[in-house]
Amino acid sequence: MPGEIRVLFFATARQAAGWAESVLPCDDSGLSVADFWDRLQTENPGLTPLRSSVRLARNHEYLTGDEWIHPGDEIALIPPVSGG
């Protein structure tokens, strides 16, 4: 039985996806960050232009490109913030 990754969308990522939260099914071996993005973009093509600028946070800590995402993790898509 596959697990789930909870995905939270903020700011422009929320606008591109069309919702604030979703669930991505995942088997027990997890997903690399690249595989996570590929699956997410397949389900939400509007996120494609944001891939290079959005940061991912797993369970409230930013991810690097070589980490793995596992069932039960919460991933937040955090676009760049501007302001002064």
Helix-strand-coil split of the chain, %, nearest 5 = 30, 35, 40
Amino acid at site 17: A
Model confidence, pTM: 0.90
CATH pick for 3-78 out of 2.40.440.10, 1.25.40.10, 3.20.20.10, 3.10.20.30: 3.10.20.30
Where in the chain are the domains?
3-78
Q: Chain-centre distance of CA 30, in angstroms?
A: 13
Mean of pLDDT values over 61-78: 94
9-62 pLDDT, tens digit per residue, is 999 999 999 999 999 999 999 999 999 999 999 999 999 999 999 999 999 999
Task: Determine the pLDDT at residue 83.
Answer: 63
Longest CA–CA span in the chain (Å) reads: 47
pLDDT at 71 over 70: yes
